[in-house]
Amino acid sequence: MQTPITLGEFIIESQAEYPEATGALTSLFSSLRLAAKVVNREINKAGLVDIVGAAGNENAQGEQQQKLDVFANDKFKTALAARGVACGIASEEEDNYVTFDEGHNKDADYVVLMDPLDGSSNIDVNVSVGTIFSIYRRVSPVGSPVTLEDFCQPGKDQVAAGYIIYGSSTMMVYSTGNGVNGFTFDPSLGVFYLSHPKMTTPTSGKTYSVNEGNYVRFPQGVKKYIKYCQEENAETNRPYTSRYIGSLVSDFHRNLITGGIYMYPSSSRYPNGKLRLLYECNPIAFLAEQAGGKAIAGAGQRILDIRPTELHQRVPFFVGSANMVDKLEDFLSE
């Protein structure tokens, strides 16, 4: 029986394919891996220690922070600062970007954007949550303080992106622009092993994921597409199944593997959409396209082409199997 390859071994092997690589990206992934293990440990103790519930603070978007939001943000920030391979981070839980200007960090090439704990409000009821991360090469001169422009880059310029899903098993799924690979955590050894090599998403699926409780607030094109999903049609395997967890990482992870579409449209309550472009939409869109799927903000509006104008910018978000996103786009174009 062949010994499975570890995440560390895979990253080193992949680095060998790029002669110009310095090893900094490998060290950066090591930081993410370490923080993920620490967060995973705390999540598994939720309910046994005082780590669940609201922290009593609000984040930059005026949303209630959960205790685990704050914990995860601190752990990832500390891990990334410790190795000297990131010159700054931006987080959904921080009002502004954070500069690492001590030691080797100021000379680092990369910035990291993250949602430290997506879906954290579900922790209290034991639903899967996740961490989403996005990595860019800085555009400001090396050695100088990072700037807003380093973080506000279009998603197509991402060097790497991924997520960690803390569920029945913990997985890290990521891409460096050469396909998508998934690694499952073995808690008995404390090691991530390659379990899902070269992940691709089906071109069509049977699942649509959207909060239908907000249906009356959705744009007309989205309403028509939802009705289309619910109609009987043997040729297109409809009606589709509605599956909505309320945790972006969990919903996307399922659809990535089995096929489907995830939708968080604009609404009368959130006219610009609710999901954050930099911390959620860009990294998930990067993974979707690398796996053969699509991600748009509207008809003819590819997520990865959007040039951000602010750190906590929100956009409508539709992602999933290519044929399903294409069909939705037809309705949005009407």
166, β-bridge pairs = 129, 170
What CATH code is carried by the domain that includes residue 108? 3.30.540.10
Q: At what angle do helices 220-230 and 322-333 cross, to 10 degrees?
A: 130
In a domain, 1, yes or no: no
Which tens digit of pLDDT belongs to each residue from 60-117? 555 556 778 888 999 999 999 998 889 999 999 999 999 997 766 888 999 999 999 9
What CATH code is carried by the domain that includes residue 305? 3.40.190.80
Q: Residue 247's pLDDT band (boundaries 50, 70, 90)?
A: very high
Asked which of 148, 167, 198 is the last residue of a domain, the reply is 198
pLDDT value of residue 63: 59
Residue 119 labeled ligand binder: yes
Contacts of 155 (CB under 8 A, 6+ apart): 134, 277, 281, 282, 283, 285, 286, 303, 304, 305, 306
Q: How many residues does the chain have?
A: 334
In one-letter notation, the amino acid at residue 319 is: V
Residue pointed to by tokens 């951000």? 308
In a domain, 97, yes or no: yes
Residue 211 labeled ligand binder: yes
330: helix, strand or coil: helix
> What rounded mean pLDDT belongs to the chain?
90
Residue 68 labeled ligand binder: no
Q: Residue 134's pLDDT band (boundaries 50, 70, 90)?
A: very high
DSSP 128-195: -EEEEEEEEE--SPTTSPP-HHHH---GGG-SEEEEEEESSSEEEEEESSS-EEEEEEETTTTEEEEE
State the Cα–Cα distance between residues 237 and 53, nearest whole angstrom. Answer: 41
Residue 13 labeled ligand binder: no
In a domain, 75, yes or no: yes
Residue 323 labeled ligand binder: no
- Domains held by the chain: number: 2
Residue 118 labeled ligand binder: yes
Residue 150 labeled ligand binder: no
Q: Residue 50's pLDDT band (boundaries 50, 70, 90)?
A: very low
Quote the domain boundaries for residue 296: 207-333
In a domain, 90, yes or no: yes
172/309 same-domain check? no
271/321 same-domain check? yes
DSSP 196-253: EEEE---SS-SEEE--GGGGGGS-HHHHHHHHHHHS-BGGGTBSPEE---S-HHHHHH
174/268 same-domain check? no
Burial of 216 (0-12, 13-18, 19+ CB in 10 A): exposed
In a domain, 297, yes or no: yes
DSSP 61-76: TSPEEEHHHHHHHHHH
Residue 228 labeled ligand binder: no
107/237 same-domain check? no
162/64 same-domain check? yes
Residue 244 labeled ligand binder: yes
In a domain, 215, yes or no: yes
Q: What is the pTM of this model?
A: 0.93
Residue pointed to by tokens 């991924």? 162
250/278 same-domain check? yes
Which tens digit of pLDDT belongs to each residue from 148-176? 999 999 999 999 999 999 988 999 999 99
Residue 121 labeled ligand binder: yes
188/126 same-domain check? yes
139/247 same-domain check? no
163/222 same-domain check? no
In a domain, 2, yes or no: no
50/135 same-domain check? yes
In a domain, 101, yes or no: yes
Q: Output the furthest CA–CA distance in the chain (Å, rounded).
A: 63
Contacts of 69 (CB under 8 A, 6+ apart): 55, 59, 93, 116, 117, 120
State the Cα–Cα distance between residues 256 and 240, nearest whole angstrom. Answer: 16
157/25 same-domain check? yes
